[in-house]
Amino acid sequence: MPSLLERLRGDLTQAMRARDDLRLQTLRMTIAAVTNARIASGAEPADAEVEAIVRRGIKTRREAAEQFRAGAREELALKEEKEIAILEGYLPALLGEAEAAAAIDAILAEMRGAAGGTLTRRDMGRVMKEVQARLGGRVDGKAAAALVTARLSQA
């Protein structure tokens, strides 16, 4: 199975052949960001690092789309959303709400056992760190934080 960077490069070639300008520009910017990361670290980035770069690109484009909408530039906001859709195709599928809740409940149960049975809102940082470590990019950070906050408030 090819690495994520190899997939990006292969799709870049296909976009060139198909003359798909939007996909071509989006992939070029992403590959350039990966190249910059490689130069900065001095080593070829692993799939997890490339995935993190793709996620940052998505986050940046979401913020840009919001700003364009606030400035009444709907056509530019739509372009950003199309780029987001292209980049999301390179990420693993997100867990559904029920699956994410079950995974977070399991993490909380395990952490409660290790902590002697109680977790409070003060433990939010530790819990979120563990959730991100285990679930990584398969769960939206804001949704996970809301679920954890609700679970800790109930305790």
Q: For position 149, which CATH number holds? A: 1.10.10
Which residue range is the domain that position 128 belongs to?
A: 97-154
Q: Residue 93's CB: how many other CB atoms inside 10 A?
A: 8
Domain identity same for 78 and 27:
yes
pLDDT tens for 48-70 read 889 889 989 999 999 999 999 99
Q: Above 60 in pLDDT, residue 155?
A: no
CATH code for the domain of 37:
1.10.1510.10
Task: Tell me how far apart the alpha carbons of residues 49 and 29 are, in angstroms, rounded to a whole number.
Answer: 16
Residue 75 confidence (pLDDT) = 94
pLDDT tens for 4-34 read 889 999 999 999 999 999 999 999 999 999 9
Of the chain, the end-to-end C-alpha distance in Å amounts to: 44
How many residues in total does the chain contain? Answer: 155
Domain identity same for 126 and 82:
no
Domain identity same for 8 and 69:
yes
Check residues 95 and 23 and name the one with the higher pLDDT. 23
Closest Cα to residue 5, out of 55, 44, 58, 43?
Answer: 44
pLDDT tens for 119-140 read 767 777 787 888 787 777 777 7
Q: How many domains does the chain have?
A: 2
The answer to whether residues 127 and 148 touch, using CB atoms and an 8 Å cutoff, is: yes
Check residues 105 and 1 and name the one with the higher pLDDT. 105
Q: Which of 47, 68, 88 is the last residue of a domain?
A: 88
